[in-house]
Every structure is written in structure tokens, then in C-alpha cells.
Chain A
Amino acid sequence: MSVIAMRGLRKDFTVRVGRGRLRREKRTVTAVDGIDLGIERGEMVGYIGPNGAGKSTTLKMLTGVLTPSAGEVSVCGLSPVPQRTRLALTIGVVFGQRSQLWWDLPLRDSFALLRHVYRVPAGAHAARLRRCRALLELDEFLDTPVRQLSLGQRMRGELTAALLHGPSVLFLDEPTIGLDVVSKQAVRSFLAELGGSGDVTMVLTTHDLADIERLCRRLVVIDHGRVVHDGTIEALHARYGSRRRLVVDLDAPLAPDFAVPGAELVALDAGGHRASFDLLSSVAGAVVAELTSLAAVRDLALVEPDIEDVVARLYRS
């Protein structure tokens, strides 16, 4: 059975729009428009989409914060809204833009309090905290009140807070938002290690596609509340015709009408000394061999397709 299952999940919001001075009109906005998705134990799923696509709304329905308008949803075999309190014991949630820590208290106190709130045995709590302290390097600010922490420090605290009760499902809503490069890497490698064990199921929403490339085998793209892609990143590239690019530096300039089987010349720079080819298949060997026999190649580089480009195209389409 899937750890997370959604069938025909839907959320409509009613908004009132002013028409003239007194009249107000009700309008229904559909944030999530019939999502069917199953996520298995230990999967790490990237859940992406443009702003307003319905990512956070889905996450809120999965965590029991928001009641679905229609459809079915279950997480760890529980129905999120009616069984929210029980569900809270088995899931961990990190909202990048919100805090679950106590603003006035030092991190250490927040963590101690969470042990009582989640009723975690002292031994298990201490072991997890030790692990997080080592991996996320918390020690230097463990006694600082949360309100004085930098965003990167706070985020590391949030991750720890979400894990201290040993959740089997972790929901991460933009966990790297606003972080600098170093903090992002710290968070990513921590999550990668956590996900590596295969015991924790993770759903991650983000706008930073590097998070996805680093962490998630499976990518779910939603737009206008519907799933538009569900599969690996490679499948996404294949589906949207992303091609790897071969860039060659040549001793002699190349003619603009130069052709080589299996590739397409897309750009000539440096007075014809640098040529870029899009590979028509995924295998570069034959093209490289053909090219070196036809022209004097000094250097070459193979550039992987950029996921940002594919996703940008996907959002626009």
C-alpha cells in the first residue's frame, strides 16, 4: 500500500470580488484540480510547479491543515484532517517560510519541549538530537534564542525539530528558500543522507531545481492544480525533447553548412573555431568519432540539458 495516496484530490477556494461599491461577487478558484498520486515508502519525490500551481495547497491537505473539497487522501493509512493529531506523530513538516520553533526560546529548549509535545522516550530523542547536531552543526547556536538565528541556522533548527519524533514521512515546503549556497548544500546533503536509508518518505516542494536534481529520483510537476508530469528527470527531458549539447573547439574554422550525422549544428562562435551541436540521440560516441574524422578537434565538452530550461518550457506550455 502506498504511504501517501491521493485520488481525485481537489480544493476550491471561494473568493469575493468587489463589483462596484456595494456589490460583491463570489468566484470559485480551483487550486488543486483532481490529483491522483501514489507515493511509496522510502521514495523522495520532488513536487514542483510555478507559483500558484497548488503545491502548498496539496501539502496542506496532506498534513491535515486544509480540508479537501473533494477526493480522497490518505497518509500512513490515516485520513489527514479527521486524524490530524495522530498523523502529527508520524509525519514531520518543514515550511521554509514558517517556523515551528518557539521564537523566544533557545533552540535547545525548543527541542526539549518538542520531546514532551510528541512524547518521545528520552533515549530516542537524545540519539536523534545527537545525530542532527553532528550532521547539521547545530552546536554553535544551540543556546541562542530562535529570534536571533540567521535564516540558515533557523532552517537547520527547523529540520531537526521536524525529525526529533522520528517521522516516517517528511514534508518539506521550500526548505532551501532564501538560503545561501553553503546552507543550501548543508540542507541538501543532510536530506540526501536521510533519504538514503530508504525508511523516510519525503515530499519536497521547491523552486530551486538543483534541490530536485540532487535529491529526488521522481519528479511530479503540477500546473493549474493538475499533474503534468510524473516520472524521472530523464523522462522529463525525453518527453520535452531536451538534448545534450556537444561543444567542440577546432583548429580551423568550420563552414556554416557543416553537417555531421546524428547531430545538428546550432551555433558557431569564435569565428567558426567553436561549434555547438545538439545531439539527436542520447549516445555521443558515434558523433564524436565522426566529427574527429571530419575536422581537427582540439577540445570538446558535453553539456547535459538544463532542467531549468525544460521546466520553464513546461510552465509556459
Chain B
Amino acid sequence: MDGLDARVPVISPRRPFRDWVSTFGALSWSGFRRYATYRQATIAGSFTNTVFGFLRCYVLLAVAAGAAGGRPGGYGAEQLASFVWVGQGLLTVVSLWGWTELADRIRSGDVAADLLRPVPPIVGYLAPDLGRAGHAMIFRFLPPLAVGALFFDLYAPSRWFTVPLFALSIVLAVVASLGLRFLVNATAYWLHDARGPIALWTLSAGVLAGLYFPLRFLPDWLAVLLWVATPFPGLLQTPLDVLVERDPAPVQLGLVALQAVWATALITAAVFVQRRAERRLVAQGG
């Protein structure tokens, strides 16, 4: 059985960074590929997001028409329309709902296979999730946005750095979201069944991330409190505010910086929780 049993050293240790990038890239591509296999689900999802986009858009435009000065929460009508349609697209990119993969793997014991790979489990989830987000950017973000642009006047950013900053903000939102989802799912290590925490997450993410209504509709003190004390606005509200230039440039930059702080904190927490979990892990069954 030559070729099967000979111990082969890993790729030259002189190129650790390149190896690492290629592993990360391959894992990300796998995330993209995995979601690309579910074409009908992608079409159905885009369609649903578009339908709800119309509903939300009309509601918010009605609010704007009825508000004093026509600028509820400081947004103009075009800004609100963009907020809705871009939000409908981003919703899937940041995967606000419905990710139970880790919890399912913990419950079934398949999580043992994650530990048997020479890649830290967090990386093993983060890299494919970025690939998933990439797939969602193309197939879930663009279609509703295109439909929205056909039927409504959307806001065109005026500052040159807004679009790149928006892109960075999306990446940070995806990372923070993965961190949060990982933490919520990881409760299954202790509870064996994470359905409770996941239900709570689904409920709070929708409200506190700014999906149901822009958080700027809230009193200032409450909005600031949410931004600083919770990671939720960074998942959806921040990228949208960045894109529609809701705030002056320094605040725009500051919001993204705050997102970066939260993303780092959440991933650090996920790493810590994973380590704790591994120490007491009981891989189920078998």
C-alpha cells in the first residue's frame, strides 16, 4: 500500500502563512459550495425577502409621510427605502436566524469530528461562514436590492469612502454574528439542547439589530445604550446606517470601530467558551 501509509510531512514549514491562507480559503470556498447546492431554497428565500421588503418599505414610508418634518429617526424617504431593501438582503448575509449547525453537532456527537481536525474549531466554523456570506451576498443580497431599486428611489451615497466602509462593516457584522451564533449554539455543550437559547436569540436579534424598525426611532439614550452595551446593532443597523450616511463621517467611522471591538470580543469569547467546553466535553453516544 505504498502511497497510503508513508508518513508525509506537512507542507514546508517555511510557508506557514501561505498554508494558513490556503486552508482558510479552501474552508471558505466549501461554505460557498455548500450553500450553492440548495438552489431552490435560495430562490424561495430571495422571493420571500423581496415580498417582505415591499411590506416593510411601505410601512416605513408611511411612517415618514406622517412624521413631523418627514424625517423619522433622522432618515429621509430615500434613506428609509435603502434601509429596508439593503436590510432585506443583508438579513441572510449576516445570518440573523436559523443557524443551529453547531448545536446539532453537539447534540448528535458529530462535534467530535471537528475536534479531530488539525484546525481550531472556531476557524473551522468562521471560514465556511464567510464563504456562506459570500454566497449570500451574490444570491440573497443582490436580487431583493435590484427589485427594490426598480420600484423605489434608493439613496445614493455621496462620500467616496462609504461603499468600502460598508463592505468592511458587512464583514465585521458577519464575524460578530458568527461569534454570537457560536456562543448561543455552544450552550448545547452544557444544556445538551440549545433550542431555548436559540429561540431567545432569534427573538432578540430581530428587534435589537434593527430589523423590525430602525433603532434610531428609539430615544437617544436607549439607542446609545444598545449600541455600546450589546453587539446587536452591529449586526444590521450599523452597516445600514453606514451605507445611507445617517451620521456625519466621524460618527460613521466610529460606529464601524465599535463593530470591530464587538466582533473581536465575541470571537475571543467564543474561543474561550470552546476551550472550556472541550475540557468538560462528553461526546455523546457511541
Contact = CB atoms under 8 A, between A and B. Distances in A.
B3 A128 contact: yes
Interface residues of A, number: 52
Interface in B95-115: 108-110, 112-113, 115
Contacts of A196: 1
Given A88-B118, A102-B30, A116 B23 contact: yes
Interface string B1-39: 111111110110000000100110111001001110110
Contacts of B3: 124, 127-128, 130-131
B250 interface: no
A196 B117 CA distance: 26
Contacts, number: 127
A79 interface: no
B19 to A, nearest CB: 5
Contacts of B37: 104-105, 145
A193 interface: yes
Given A104-B38, A166-B7, A168-B5, 12 more contacts: A64-B116, A65-B115, A97-B285, A102-B34, A104-B33, A104-B34, A113-B26, A117-B119, A119-B118, A124-B8, A128-B3, A131-B4
29 contacts: A56-B286, A64-B116, A67-B279, A84-B115, A85-B119, A88-B116, A93-B116, A95-B113, A100-B116, A102-B34, A105-B30, A112-B26, A116-B25, A116-B27, A117-B27, A118-B117, A119-B10, A119-B22, A120-B8, A121-B8, A124-B3, A128-B4, A130-B3, A131-B3, A131-B4, A132-B4, A193-B1, A194-B1, A197-B2
Interface of B: 1-8, 10-11, 19, 22-23, 25-27, 30, 33-35, 37-38, 108-110, 112-113, 115-120, 279, 281-283, 285-286
Interface of A: 13, 56, 60, 63-67, 84-86, 88-91, 93, 95, 97-100, 102, 104-105, 109, 112-113, 115-121, 124, 127-128, 130-132, 145, 163, 165-166, 168, 173, 193-194, 196-197, 199-200
